[in-house]
Structure 1
Amino acid sequence: MAAKTALVMRPTGVQGRGAAKHLIRKGWRVHALVTNASSDRAVGLESLGHNVTLFQGTWKDAASIEAAVKGCQALLLVQLPSFSDDSEVQEARVVLNIAKAAGVQHVVFPTTLPLNNPNIWEQEKDSPVAPAVLNKGDVEKIVRASGLTWTLLRPGYFLTNLLPPVVYWMYPEFKDRKFVNSYGPDCVLTLVDPDDIGAFVVAAFEDPKKFGGQTISVVGENVRVDKILVELERVSGQTIKAVYRTPEETEKARSSPFVAGQITSIGLAKWVDLEGVKSWGVPLTTFAQFLEKHKDEFAM
């Protein structure tokens, strides 16, 4: 039987690359749509195997989407967050219309966990991260109405945010071994290894009857911030000073999307049913397992 083919949008990011890797392991062909086919990260995708074909383009160039989606039965719609406009919504409409016309049967859309909070629309309306969160809610509606079999994945806090170099621009003081944040020590973060998102993508494409029409939280483990820092110290061999902003300091800094994102994460764990996540039968990575897998990268 001929291998199935999936179009993976933004395959050079942690979600897209993880999905491409899992798809290839399951015998799928991957059409990888990249903005620059000669970039190191794009060329690096070819190391995943001969079943990866690179296509260059963006959603603003319909012909590039049409070329990339030709022959595909499935679509992974990965989007970059926009903090200033509704480009995610525009992109979703364009890509889904082209995909449907090309014969795609199933779309998986990794969205965002804060949408589990039924109060998010009111809570986030004045936040700098509002477009990045609420636009994904609008895209979810577009995906549901697309006429395709759909699966929505709502992943938690990416553990790769704690790896260099990302950790240095999300938490700039981390270069000086200070974890300055607005979480508070007892805030519980909903941790996920982005590689596990890829595992869910493949599971959904492989079993559309089970995963079709489902909205699934993807969280491996809930861990307190102070416990996270203890483990980061252990694996890195470095002392890391926790600096928790006061409410007044947080209010002054909330114009930063990173600080606003931290505020959004507070209390989010109560909207996650970990046993429900496990019930899908997709193996999940614990925090300890992630640290072991990436221990060389934590040697700061």
Structure 2
Amino acid sequence: MGNRDCRRIAVIGATGQVGWALSRELKRLGHEVLAVSRGRTASNLSRLDDLEALGVRTVFQADLTDVNGLTALLDGCDTAVVALRANARLIRELEPPILEAARRAQVRRFVPDEFGTHTKAIEYGVGTLFDAKKDIQELVFASGLEWTLLFPGGIFDYFLPNLRLFERITTFGNLQCPFPTHSIDDIGAICARAVADPRTANKAVQIYANVVTQQYLVDMLVRMWPHYPFTFEHVSTEKILYLKEHGDPERISAKGGAEPDRERHGINYATYVLGRLACLDDPDTLCANDLYPDHVYTTPEEALADPKFVFGEPCPS
């Protein structure tokens, strides 16, 4: 990448799962990366150290509702990416002041906190998390800034069956609903290219490789690990419908999850009942496969063949 292509890109939430992968890849591509974190903690220290070792500048902003502080921090940035691991309440609370700060700092392009279901193509009322993100989209569209929406499909860690993050193998709704799923490294690589790509200004980008079904993944898991006594559970469509309306709005029961149970079942409803995790028929959506045909994706087969991915450590003998 030549100097003329180098941009100064702020990643707010740079030590989160997506933000970390994105920040690393942006730096590898030659951009000047500003990694924004709320502070050093025991949980993010190793990732901050990793980013700093790569030459990424880390800055701290404890209060993400402080518009003046954020404006000063974003001054001189070409692009601001929000990659917070947030639920609906935090999205509504934190993202408007970040957007206002980006506008005041005259940031050229704003990338709101998406990185999941294609919320632009989903109607209001499907889930509280999606409604919050759609409301933020409307603010972004009205801001006068360039924007890019990034929809990576499902992250391997949460959409492939594994016992590293889950106590049992759980399936939901329609086992034959197709959906795309990708490794976090692939997501970081594609998103890093997309945020600085002039073709993606005022567009959504859908990553759409590795299209699978739950049934396919479960069958593959059992075939690859035939001697392991997996425990299975299925959550019916009827139960998903009930829990997305009446599940606990505060309790987070999923290991490593950021969304309360009610929001999580809204995601399950969109993915495994409606089949709308991804969308290619939205007129403002570009397919990453077409934009970056040279990228080679890690496959679900490769992930599920890795005992560390499936079981964590220690692995079963």
Equivalent residue number for residue 32 of structure 1? 35
- State how 1:205-284 maps to structure 2 within 5 Å: 205-208=195-198, 210-233=199-222, 238-250=228-240, 253-254=243-244, 255=247, 256-257=261-262, 258-266=264-272, 267-268=274-275, 272-273=279-280, 276-281=287-292, 283=295, 284=297
Matched, 1:141 2:138: yes
Deviation at 1:95, TM superposition (A): 1.2
Change (3 A) 1:24 1:291: farther
Deviation at 1:193, TM superposition (A): 2.4
1:76 alignment partner, SS class: strand
Equivalent residue number for residue 56 of structure 1? 60
Post-superposition Cα deviations, 1:104-157, rounded to whole Å, max 9, x if no partner, equal: 212223524242544x324x2xxxxx2211111111122222222211112322
Matched, 1:181 2:162: no
Matched, 1:41 2:44: yes
TM-score for both structures, normalised by structure 2: 0.75
Deviation at 1:163, TM superposition (A): 7.9
CA distance in 2, matches of 1:52, 1:66: 20
Tell me the matched-pair count.
Answer: 281
CA distance in 2, matches of 1:206, 1:157: 22
Post-superposition Cα deviations, 1:172-199, rounded to whole Å, max 9, x if no partner, equal: xxx2xx3233334323233132333322
Deviation at 1:235, TM superposition (A): 5.4
User: Which of 12-21 and 262-271 deviates more?
Assistant: 262-271
User: Which of 106-115 and 218-227 deviates more?
Assistant: 106-115
Supply the AA of the counterpart residue of 2:57.
T
Report if aligned partners of 1:204, 1:211 keep a CA contact under 8 Å in 2. yes
1:93 alignment partner, SS class: helix
Post-superposition Cα deviations, 1:227-254, rounded to whole Å, max 9, x if no partner, equal: 2123334556634243223455445544
CA distance in 1, matches of 2:47, 2:11: 15
Report if aligned partners of 2:12, 2:37 keep a CA contact under 8 Å in 1. yes
CA distance in 1, matches of 2:119, 2:37: 28
CA distance in 2, matches of 1:204, 1:137: 20
Aligned counterpart for 1:10 among listed residues 3, 9, 13: 13
Report if aligned partners of 1:32, 1:54 keep a CA contact under 8 Å in 2. yes
User: Which of 105-114 and 218-227 deviates more?
Assistant: 105-114
Report if aligned partners of 1:45, 1:52 keep a CA contact under 8 Å in 2. no
CA distance in 2, matches of 1:93, 1:246: 36
Change (3 A) 1:34 1:190: same
Supply the AA of the counterpart residue of 1:89.
R
CA distance in 1, matches of 2:72, 2:161: 35
Sequence identity percentage: 18
Supply the AA of the counterpart residue of 2:8.
T
Report if aligned partners of 1:19, 1:198 keep a CA contact under 8 Å in 2. yes
Supply the AA of the counterpart residue of 1:70.
D
Deviation at 1:55, TM superposition (A): 1.6
Supply the AA of the counterpart residue of 1:261.
I
Report if aligned partners of 1:20, 1:30 keep a CA contact under 8 Å in 2. yes
**CA RMSD, Structure 1 to Structure 2 (Å):** 3.0
Deviation at 1:6, TM superposition (A): 1.1
TM-score for both structures, normalised by structure 1: 0.79
CA distance in 1, matches of 2:22, 2:10: 11
CA distance in 2, matches of 1:63, 1:281: 37
Aligned counterpart for 2:154 among listed residues 157, 167, 174: 157
CA distance in 2, matches of 1:72, 1:270: 31
Deviation at 1:26, TM superposition (A): 0.8
Deviation at 1:165, TM superposition (A): 7.8
